[in-house]
Structure 1
Amino acid sequence: MIEKIQLLMKIHQMSAADLAEKLGTERSGISHFLSGRNKPSLAFVQKLLENFPELNPDWLLLDKGSMLRNEEVEATRNKSVSNTVTELQFPVEEPVLDVKDESPIEYGDVDKRIEKHTPDTIRTQTPTDESIEKIVIFYTDGTFSAHKSR
């Protein structure tokens, strides 16, 4: 793959620094895999294919086909996809609204309805002998602070 990336750089007349800038990666990373120290990561290969759409991924990864994508094949693929999308026209159904026809409500009636749905008993918490011993606060930067009761 190193030779292929070097060929791509030669065709586009780019240095390692130019390629790093175009891909938004570190210059040292490109230098390391061009020298054979490291292998290109998946993220690097994805950025390479995104920034050079004419580059054939089969050639780059599998050593199959030509270096550049065949424009005729790509145009045919795009046309067949757009035809498929055009054929998939679904009928749009109007939503059915279920509206109850109720008579107008007077303000006094609203109060009665609210009273009707109020629970008969209200639960209250009874105080216990338990008390708070310590509160720990965790921050997003990985630190925390602990506070003890006095």
Structure 2
Amino acid sequence: MLNQDAFLKRLDAIMQYYDVSASAMADKIGVQRSSISHLLTGRNKPSLEFVMKVVDAFPEVNLYWLLQGDGEFPTRKKETATLFTTPEEPMSKETASPPEAKNPKVLEAYVKQVERIVIFYTDGSFQSYSEIKD
């Protein structure tokens, strides 16, 4: 049988680890914000669907840890999403540019244009910036 108080402590640990509010967590796992609120106040018990959504949305959460407290949290190092990533290995000059880079027509094929930039905030809102054409 699920110990609801212990489950809520583990759910709170997940929210603190990922630094998300209850409403941001609801958005991330795809449930209504009231669902999280009702769980946290003790009004409702977590459904299996809710538990599975948490486990699917947060890869470091172990199902047995969330339900029973068995195992560890996090199960592995937290993966943070970054806007800009660096390659695992530094690129050599040979791989940094195409071999035909001296030919301007071939180089045009490798140039990418930015269509838009979207910034996501922790409160669930976002801002989108599109390319301005002259």
With structure 2 as the length reference, what TM-score do the two structures score? 0.50
**Which residue, out of 24, 33, 36, partners 1:30?**
36
- Counterparts of 1:44-59 in structure 2, within 5 Å, are 44-59=50-65
SS of 2:52's equivalent in the other structure is helix
Q: What displacement does 1:68 show? A: 2.0
Aligned residue pairs, count = 71
User: What is the letter of the counterpart of residue 4 of structure 1?
Assistant: R
Cα deviation for residue 70 of structure 1 reads 5.0
Question: Gaps spanning 5+ residues in structure 1: where?
Answer: 72-150
What is the CA deviation profile of residues 125-145 of structure 1, one whole-angstrom value per residue up to 9, with x for unaligned ones?
xxxxxxxxxxxxxxxxxxxxx
Task: Find the counterpart in structure 2 of residue 123 from structure 1.
Answer: none
Question: Could you tell me which of 11, 18, 23 is aligned with 1:12?
Answer: 18
Q: Which residue of 2 aligns with 1:64?
A: 70
Identity over aligned pairs, percent: 42
1: distance between equivalents of 2:73 and 2:17?
A: 11
Q: Which has the larger radius of gyration?
A: 1
Q: Which runs of 4+ in 1 moved over 4 A?
A: none
- Gaps in structure 2 of 5+ consecutive residues: 1-6, 78-134
Kindly state the Cα deviation for residue 64 of structure 1 after the two structures are TM-superposed.
1.0
Separation of aligned partners in 2, 1:31 and 1:10: 16
- Give the superposition deviation at 1:17: 0.6
Shift in Å, 1:48: 0.3
How far apart, CA to CA, are the structure 1 residues paired with 2:60 and 2:16?
15
Residue matched to 2:9: 3
How far off its partner does 1:47 sit? Answer: 0.4
Cα distance in 2, alignment partners of residues 66 and 52 from structure 1: 14
**Partner secondary structure for residue 72 of structure 2:** coil
Deviation at 1:55, TM superposition (A): 0.8
**CA distance in structure 2 between the partners assigned to 1:22 and 1:4 by the alignment:** 17
C-alpha separation in 2, matches of 1:8 and 1:69: 12
- How do 1:68-83 and structure 2 match up within 5 A? 68-70=74-76
Deviation at 1:61, TM superposition (A): 1.2
Measure, in 2, the Cα distance between the counterparts of 1:13 and 1:53. 15
Q: Distance in 1 between matches of 2:13 and 2:76?
A: 18
- TM-score calculated relative to the size of structure 1: 0.45
